[in-house]
């Protein structure tokens, strides 16, 4: 550490006041090792020092919650005696620096979070954001991120079952890579990460420790991103085959009851895992760096403690069972070493053989970081630049083709075909066949999972846009017949020290809290990723929502495909607007403001659709989202290989809309449903015109839509060609 005494803490990202706080807590100056440990655990990525107060708003309790925030992942109980564990995390800055390894190790990290609870990972989803596709950099990042996700997930044998990809100019210099994992366990067998049992052994499992990742996620994600390749060595290197052995080894150890506690080594490496395990257990830990298996010779103690080398776990083991643990590890060809002991000191002591080279109170290291109050200020107006790519005077057919071909709406087959979506043989609904992924359980029931967000709409109104993201997730689950059980989130924002970003974060968090309370969906965990910003400006404020639901019969889960002869209805209080829409973006006509529907009205429609799917009355269910009603109808037609004729004049009259707004406006609360005539007629009659309108039927080879002054009639194969155009733009 070649840093002068005067500014060594600044070089490590600590402020002068934070350094003085450390000196007060220690009652002395920290040495270089201790300062490195504090700098990482007091980083934004680990300490949440600008967001922790806001997160207290979120509802975290519910009758199904078995693991809430604070553990490696959250978990909710299923009716079959099983629990489903899930979490979403970001790997944004590492992926912007080195996209293949950044994305791959993001998948590896979220898998470890789930099997650290004792849950077997059964699915991965990803939420990705890049700049516009006319940028060579964005195409490169997209290509390599997708390759990294596919490489890790496919190699380890966990299916990638869903996700989303958006392309927007504000992500040009700071892409977003959020990964979500879902796992299954017996509810009674879930394990926590709290260290316990004075005298118990601390065992490091998995890959050996090297210099890769030093100053990685914890530092990269705690400051604005700078241009250049100098940060590339800070990105971790992943090995999915090593992780596969580690995962199976850990699950067997847990199955045999051989572990007291288990913790993933992620950001900040041993420092974070040891500190968090000790803090949760109210104990101390001694860690001897001389006992840590190293990949590189002559590593300094501080390097060992802060290395972010991948595929490692930290376990607490009773001394009498250590030999059994080591035997299981040997069978799985997984390295294991007892590197320390649990103590009653409530201190983290770092030893180098017999010499104490670091000694800090657990409470100071983990909970001593000051929490900051934001200073939010609403911006005077729209602060993002938007270029126009579509003229105002295009006819409705041309607009539909432009929207279907827009990279954020177009088919992402090029990406998801690189992922194995059916390994493990649980997948009932694959990508682009339904609004949510559906996985079957041994009990005969199933779970559904969705991940959603729209940063552009949140930028227009952080509160309402975040509410919409939560409703979108719940709507997607409803379309396959699933009832939400719990929610995880990843809050991706710019620099919170800037008033306008602080305002976005504050309003978005409140929107998330209010929507979850209204829907009765608890938040069981998540991640905050701040400082997603460069000299070119911040990203769109992007809360990403992951939601898991339960359904009794996965075989009845609806698809988005029309079938010839289907009667088609529009269900829900849908009141579209062009504000913040994809069409407004293409026209360069974005600005602040979104309309808002009462959440209870949307919730009623969600429940109605869910029950219709469960009863087997709705063969097709698809919520109206990006691109509006016209795109939703076109997607259903393309999926079914059959045309559609729809008269939307009653919708125009009922809502007082222009035809263009009716076709292409966006907002929550709208569902396209289809099925046999008797079922749809009964549905419309039961609800009434205010909540369900029969709008058309499926058949023929054309998409024909009429909405007051806006009409279109296009060939189905031409619409499909536009929707699948992304393949040619990437290859």
Between strands 671-675 and 710-715, the pairing is: unpaired
**Calpha distance 426→447 (Å, rounded):** 10
* Contact criterion met (CB below 8 Å) for 659 and 652: yes
What percent of the chain stands above pLDDT 70? Answer: 96
Dihedrals phi, psi of 57, to nearest 5 degrees: -70, -25
Measured CA to CA in angstroms, residue 124 lies from 265, 309, 444, 551 at distances of 19, 22, 21, 19
State the pLDDT at residue 234: 58
Identify the pLDDT of residue 686. Answer: 78
- Find the range with the poorest average confidence among 15-29, 605-619, 717-731: 717-731
**Contact assessment for residue 424 and residue 244, using Cβ atoms and an 8 Å cutoff:** no
Residue 615 class from Cβ within 10 Å (0-12 exposed, 13-18 middle, 19+ buried)? exposed
pLDDT band at 731 (very low <50, low <70, confident <90, very high): low
Q: What is the mean pLDDT of the chain?
A: 93
Residue 235's pLDDT band, with cuts at 50, 70 and 90, is confident
pLDDT band at 213 (very low <50, low <70, confident <90, very high): confident
pLDDT digits (tens, 9 = 90+) for 482-532: 999 999 999 999 999 999 999 999 999 999 999 999 999 999 999 999 999
Q: Which residue has the tokens 């290859």?
A: 731
Distances in Å between the Cα of 671 and the Cα atoms of 291, 432, 571, 688, 715 are 59, 16, 5, 15, 23
Q: Are 548 and 486 in contact (CB under 8 A)?
A: yes
Burial class (CB in 10 A: 0-12, 13-18, 19+), 16: exposed
- In the predicted structure, residue 256 carries a pLDDT above the cut 50: yes
- Tens of pLDDT, residues 526-582: 999 999 999 888 999 999 999 999 999 999 999 999 999 999 999 999 999 999 999
- Give the count of beta carbons closer than 10 Å to the beta carbon of residue 425: 8
| Residue 465 vs residues 268, 365, 586, 630, 665: alpha-carbon distances, Å | 33, 36, 19, 21, 15
Catalytic residue among 9, 50, 91, 622: 91
Structure token digits, residue 82: 């099983």
Q: Tell me the C-alpha distance between 81 and 89, whole Å.
A: 27
What pLDDT is attached to residue 714? Answer: 98
Q: Is the dihedral of CA 338, 340, 344, 347 positive or negative?
A: negative
How far apart (Å, rounded) are the C-alpha atoms in residues 695 and 332? 59
Token pair belonging to 36: 């490195």
Question: Average pLDDT for residues 356-362, to the nearest whole number?
Answer: 97
Across residues 25-35, what is the average pLDDT?
95
Q: Which tens digits make up the pLDDT trace of 442-464? A: 989 999 999 999 999 999 999 99
Tokens read off for 391: 């003229």
Contacts of 43 (CB under 8 A, 6+ apart): 13, 218, 219, 221, 222, 268
Q: Is 151 a catalytic residue?
A: no
Confidence of residue 434 (pLDDT cuts 50, 70, 90): very high
Q: How far apart are CA 428 and CA 204, in angstroms?
A: 38
Which candidate, 617, 542, 544, 604, places its Cα nearest to that of 574?
Answer: 604
Positions of E strands within 6-146: 65-67, 74-77, 82-90, 120-130
List of domains in the chain: 32-49+190-367 (3.90.650.10), 567-730 (3.90.650.10)
Q: Is the pLDDT of residue 278 over 90?
A: yes
Integer Cα distance of 376 and 504 in angstroms? 8
β-pair type (437-440, 446-452): antiparallel
**The pLDDT of residue 730 is above 90:** no
Q: Which segments of 431-558 does DSSP mark as H helices, in order?
A: 455-460, 462-478, 499-519
CA 100/CA 151 separation, integer angstroms: 9
Cα dist from 101 to 150, 209, 237, 288, 430, whole Å: 11, 17, 6, 30, 26
Helices 32-41 and 269-281, interaxial angle, to 10°?
70
pLDDT band at 13 (very low <50, low <70, confident <90, very high): confident
Q: What is the mean pLDDT of residues 47-75?
A: 96
R_g of the chain computed on alpha carbons = 26
**Which of helix, strand or coil describes residue 338?**
strand
With a pLDDT cut of 90, the percent of the chain lying above it is 88
Query: Do the Cβ atoms of 674 and 698 come closer than 8 Å?
Result: yes
What's the rounded mean pLDDT across residues 322-342?
98
Beta bridge partners of 527: 490
Considering the candidates 45, 93, 151, 622, report the single residue annotated as catalytic.
45
Split at pLDDT 50, 70, 90, the class of 224 is: low
Closest CA to 698 of 614, 618, 637: 637
The answer to whether residue 729 scores a pLDDT higher than 80 is no
Mean pLDDT value across residues 6-17: 87
Statement: residue 219 has pLDDT above 50: no
Q: Retrieve residue 298's tokens.
A: 């002559």
Nearest to 413 by CA among 172, 622, 165: 165
- Using the predicted structure, report yes or no on whether residue 233 has a pLDDT greater than 80: no
pLDDT of residue 370: 94
Average pLDDT for 238-244: 95
pLDDT tens digits for range 587-637? 999 999 999 999 999 999 999 999 999 999 999 999 999 999 999 999 999
392 — pLDDT class (breaks 50, 70, 90): confident
Closest CA to 14 of 387, 368, 493: 368
Would you call 9 a catalytic residue per the annotation? no
At 541, give phi and psi (nearest 5°): -65, 120
Counting every residue written for the chain, the total comes to: 731
pLDDT band at 174 (very low <50, low <70, confident <90, very high): very high
The mean per-residue pLDDT over the stretch 192-206 comes to 97
DSSP secondary structure letter of residue 618 = -
């Amino acid at each position: 550490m070649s840093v002068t005494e005067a500014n060594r803490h600044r070089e490590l990202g600590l402020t002068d006041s934070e350094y003085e706080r450390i000196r007060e807590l220690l009652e002395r100056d920290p040495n270089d090792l201790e300062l490195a440990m504090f700098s990482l655990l007091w980083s934004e990525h680990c300490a949440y020092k600008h967001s922790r107060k806001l997160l207290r708003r979120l509802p975290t309790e519910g009758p199904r919650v078995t693991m809430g925030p604070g553990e490696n992942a959250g978990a909710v109980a299923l009716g079959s005696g099983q629990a489903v564990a899930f979490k979403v995390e970001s790997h944004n800055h590492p992926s912007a620096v080195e996209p293949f390894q950044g994305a791959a190790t993001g998948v590896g990290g979220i898998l470890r979070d789930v099997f650290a609870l004792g849950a077997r990972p059964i699915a991965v989803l990803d939420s990705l954001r890049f700049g516009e596709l006319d940028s060579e950099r964005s195409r490169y990042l997209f290509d390599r991120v997708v390759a990294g996700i596919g490489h890790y997930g496919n190699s380890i044998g966990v299916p990638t079952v869903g996700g989303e990809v958006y392309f927007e100019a504000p992500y040009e210099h700071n892409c977003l890579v959020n990964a979500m994992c879902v796992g299954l366990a017996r509810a009674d067998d879930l394990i926590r990460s709290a260290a316990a049992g004075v005298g118990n052994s601390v065992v490091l499992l998995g890959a050996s420790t090297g210099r890769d990742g030093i100053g990685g996620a914890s530092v990269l994600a705690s400051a604005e991103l700078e241009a250049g390749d100098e940060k590339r060595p800070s990105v971790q290197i992943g090995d999915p085959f090593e992780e596969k052995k580690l995962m199976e080894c850990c699950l067997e150890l847990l199955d045999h009851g051989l572990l007291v506690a288990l913790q993933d080594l992620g950001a900040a490496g041993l420092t974070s895992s040891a500190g968090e395990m000790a803090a949760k257990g109210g104990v101390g830990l001694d860690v001897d760096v001389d006992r840590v298996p190293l990949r590189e010779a002559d590593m300094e103690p501080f390097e060992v403690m802060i290395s972010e080398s991948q595929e490692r776990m930290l376990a607490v083991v009773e001394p009498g069972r250590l030999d059994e643990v080591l035997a299981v590890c040997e069978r799985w060809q997984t390295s294991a070493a007892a590197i320390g002991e649990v103590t009653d000191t409530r201190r983290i002591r770092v030893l180098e053989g017999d010499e104490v080279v670091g000694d800090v109170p657990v409470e100071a290291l983990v909970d001593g970081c000051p929490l900051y109050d934001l200073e939010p200020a609403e911006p005077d107006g729209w602060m993002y630049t938007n270029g126009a790519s579509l003229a105002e005077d295009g006819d409705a057919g041309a607009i539909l083709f432009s929207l279907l071909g827009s990279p954020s709406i177009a088919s992402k087959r090029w990406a998801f075909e690189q992922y194995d979506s059916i390994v493990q043989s649980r997948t009932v609904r694959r990508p682009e066949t339904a609004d949510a992924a559906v996985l079957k359980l041994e009990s005969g029931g199933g779970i559904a999972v969705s991940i959603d967000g729209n940063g552009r709409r949140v930028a227009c109104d952080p509160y309402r846009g975040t509410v919409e993201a939560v409703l979108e997730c719940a709507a997607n689950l409803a379309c396959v017949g699933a009832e939400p059980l719990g929610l995880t989130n990843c809050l991706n924002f710019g620099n919170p020290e800037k008033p306008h970003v602080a305002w976005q974060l504050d309003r978005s968090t409140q929107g998330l809290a209010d929507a979850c309370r209204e829907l009765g969906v608890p938040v069981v965990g998540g991640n905050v990723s701040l400082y997603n910003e460069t000299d070119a400006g911040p990203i769109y404020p992007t809360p990403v929502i992951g939601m898991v639901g339960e359904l009794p019969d996965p075989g009845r889960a609806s698809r988005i495909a029309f079938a010839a002869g289907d009667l088609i209805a529009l269900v829900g209080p849908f009141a579209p607007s062009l504000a913040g829409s994809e069409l407004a973006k293409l026209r360069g006509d974005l600005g602040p403001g979104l309309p808002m529907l009462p959440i209870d009205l949307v919730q009623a429609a969600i429940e109605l659709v869910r029950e219709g799917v469960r009863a087997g009355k709705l063969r097709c269910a698809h919520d109206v989202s990006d691109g509006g009603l016209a795109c939703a109808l076109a997607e259903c037609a393309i999926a079914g290989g059959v045309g559609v004729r729809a008269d939307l004049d009653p919708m125009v009259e009922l809502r007082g809309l222009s035809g263009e707004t009716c076709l292409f406006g966006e907002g929550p609360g709208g569902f396209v449903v289809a099925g046999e005539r008797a079922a749809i007629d009964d549905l419309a009659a039961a609800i009434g015109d205010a909540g369900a309108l029969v709008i058309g039927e499926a058949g023929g080879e054309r998409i024909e839509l009429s909405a007051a002054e806006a009409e279109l009639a296009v060939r189905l194969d031409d619409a499909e060609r536009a929707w699948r155009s992304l393949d040619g733009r990437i290859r």
